[in-house]
Structure 1
Amino acid sequence: MMASHAPRPDAYSLQRDRLAAYFDGTARKAWIDLTSDAKVSGIRATVRAGRDRMRAQIENWLPEDLRRVRVLDAGCGTGAMSIDLACRGAEVTGVDIAGGLVEIAARRAQSFIGHGRIDWRVGDMLDPALGRFEHVVAMDSLIHYPAQDIVRTLSRLAARCDRSIIFTFAPSTPLLGAMHKAGKLFPRSDRSPAIVPVRESELRELLCTLSEWRVARGGRIASGFYTSHALELVRR
């Protein structure tokens, strides 16, 4: 029998598939509750508050008037960011590898009022078939990757983006490092795939390899068990 020479999946693809299984599996109900007004535990309440503050920060970095502007919400989850931006007139493509979350997002978007529109997609945010965009947002979509993989991913997104990319990473802090080692960001029954703490200085140095882009704004949100740092890349 001839041996198979199929290429081995890269680190990004392997982690992508783990995330899809997690968000479409045991964590689906937990994330529906986390991204709604449902009652949650004290730990998850801090995560919800932190995510709300991070989403507001990212949205404030984008132009207020987004009419006829194409935006990619890379890793849209249950769709809060996509809906907010569509309400400001954006033509949003909301993509996520977890079909169950995209289904929830589409359901929640049925009542949104705005001049924009949302094209919901299930799949890989790096798929070139999604087209070109003026802005890309990736909130907490890259927190499961080390610095080098984050920059490789951003490089592929940058090839299809004309104005700005806003993304978040998990900053290397003593608290986050301890939680990473313990693997206890969530209860054992629905624990997320490991979040990878990244040193900001290392990440900024690697981002210098994106020759047509520069780091503009940055901002960290810390809320109990939620710590995330946003960076804005803009074309030179």
Structure 2
Amino acid sequence: MNAADDKTIVKEYFNSTGFDRWRRIYGDGEVNKVQLDIRNGHQQTVDKVLGWLKADDNLAELSICDAGCGVGSLSIPLAEAGAKVYASDISEKMVEEGKQRASLTLKNPENLTFAVQDLETLSGSYHTVICLDVLIHYPQEKADAMISHLCSLAQSRIILSFAPKTCALTILKKIGSFFPGPSKATRAYLHREADVVKILEKNGFVVQRQSMTRTRFYFSRLLEANRN
């Protein structure tokens, strides 16, 4: 299958069975042990990004694009902290869920705009562009163009997370342990960190901060890069 098929698969998955599964994972209700592990891992990544941005002590001055926002796990706290956030996702159901969650928790809703949009059609200019746990759905040849496009939208900084391609994770993926259970997710693509860094540098960005989140079933490499 080609890269265009991957986008169709992702869109259909997160508007159907995938939506129900990941809404539970990204919520606070009862889930199984594997889902709880993934929930905790994803939340650790979100918390690290929030920690980085809050430590800079200028969130109220920033415009942020949260590309692939899901149900708003990052967008909502960023908006609550004062940032102007444009949150987009390829899944209409995810966006609707995000809007509902924001309406229940966000005291300043004018700070947050949700939209149904895929990464390739995003436009505008933002101080910071963030894309968490999205690249795992796309092969390397597609990721290059997607990361480059996101870089073109970022005035100052881009923050990405991806499942790193290492020998250990490649083996886990091959034996079916990376995403356990049949038909529960889209295809999972791993990316070499050196390849991601090379794409960022090609677009004029230099990695400034990095982190790794590792649980039993969740692996995510986080990079923050600033424009030269």
Do both share a fold (TM > 0.5)? Answer: yes
Match of 1:222 in 2: 214
Structure 1, gaps ≥5 residues long: 1-8
CA distance in 2, matches of 1:115, 1:95: 15
CA contact (8 A) 2:158 2:224 kept: yes
Match of 2:75 in 1: 82
CA distance in 2, matches of 1:179, 1:163: 36
Match of 1:23 in 2: 14
Bigger mean CA deviation after superposition, 91-100 or 59-68: 59-68
| Letter in structure 2 aligned against 1:34 | I
Q: CA deviation at 1:222?
A: 0.2
Q: 1:120 aligns with which of 90, 114, 130?
A: 114
Larger Rg: 1
Aligned residues: 224
Cα separation, partners in 2 of 1:109 and 1:92, compared to 1, 3 Å = same
Task: Show the 5 A alignment for 1:119-198.
Answer: 119-128=113-122, 130-183=123-176, 185-189=179-183, 191-198=184-191
CA distance in 2, matches of 1:53, 1:205: 26
CA distance in 1, matches of 2:168, 2:14: 24
CA RMSD in angstroms, aligned pairs only: 2.0
| Letter in structure 2 aligned against 1:230 | L
Structure 2, gaps ≥5 residues long: none
Cα separation, partners in 2 of 1:41 and 1:115, compared to 1, 3 Å = closer
| Letter in structure 2 aligned against 1:142 | L
CA distance in 2, matches of 1:93, 1:126: 15
Q: CA deviation at 1:209?
A: 1.9
Match of 1:3 in 2: none
Runs ≥4 residues deviating over 4 A: none
Deviations 1:48-80 (A, max 9, x none): 110010001112222333224211000000111
Q: Secondary structure at the match of 2:60?
A: coil
- Larger proportion of helix: 2
TM-score w.r.t. the length of structure 1 is 0.87
Q: 2:30 aligns with which of 39, 43, 51?
A: 39
| Letter in structure 1 aligned against 2:226 | V
Q: Secondary structure at the match of 1:67?
A: helix
Q: CA deviation at 1:89?
A: 0.7
